[in-house]
Structure 1
């Protein structure tokens, strides 16, 4: 009888823990899905020649940081201007593809993404890797730090 009593006491605790962890997993999956969608939207905008649409993935802030092979840019507008200088039209933009290696929530408001980018422009592929830090705001998940090589 004591054994049955112990089991009956432990079962609700196990059930609560199981449901709590399920909720966290669902929330993490939702976060991952939302961030992946931002990346897919950026990819689609780029491939349509829509630089403004591509930039919607970034936080529109003076503190947005882009670290590339040869430069460090601060601010959404500076990042946009740099992209426009390097890719003045759709032909120059080519076709972009992201291969997302890891999408990892760090908290309710922050996550990071590790991936590979491939750009086909004039049949000459270019590629490299990136690490992005996302922050959740009223506008949704946005990139606040972009380290691209």
Structure 2
């Protein structure tokens, strides 16, 4: 009887962990989609809200902080307060790295327009759960 109780408890724990991972996964994908919507509205501050104040990004010069991430977006992807190309994310895959950290990978697409051709690449971001919700701790896009 004791063995059955332990097995049932283990199964309940496994289902709870899986449900929590599915909830986190759905939340992270929703956050990425909301960030893309902000980008497409020309709202760089709204897009940047997804990043932790401690966030870093892998750049050609190495890891750079939040100010450098923002500078990169302003320099190459925005002009006169508007985005140069609409952004879309696809092919999301989430891997939980514990209950408060996750790896999210996928594909970004900067849509073609009359001035610029489509640009596409892969990305990986590490999310961490902070007091105000899930935030990107590290970004590696290519």
TM category, shorter: 0.7 to 0.9
Tell me by how many angstroms 1:40 deviates.
1.0
Q: 1:105 to 1:72 in 2, by over 3 A?
A: same
Relative to the length of structure 1, the TM-score reads 0.83
Unaligned runs of 5+ in 1: 1-7
Please say if residues 41 and 83 of structure 2, whose CA atoms lie closer than 8 Å, have aligned partners that are also in contact: no
CA-based RMSD of the aligned residues comes to 1.7
Relative to the length of structure 2, the TM-score reads 0.87
**1:1-149 aligned within 5 A:** 8-61=1-54, 64-68=55-59, 70-72=60-62, 74-86=64-76, 87-88=78-79, 89-92=81-84, 94-123=85-114, 124-149=117-142
Please say if residues 43 and 98 of structure 1, whose CA atoms lie closer than 8 Å, have aligned partners that are also in contact: yes
SS, match of residue 59 in structure 1: strand
Please say if residues 111 and 134 of structure 1, whose CA atoms lie closer than 8 Å, have aligned partners that are also in contact: yes
Structure 1 or 2: more strand by fraction = 2
Unaligned runs of 5+ in 2: none
Larger-gyration structure (1/2): 1
Structure 1 or 2: more helix by fraction = 1
Could you report, residue by residue, the CA deviation over 1:87-115 in whole angstroms, capped at 9, with x for unpaired residues?
223251x2111013311110122110111
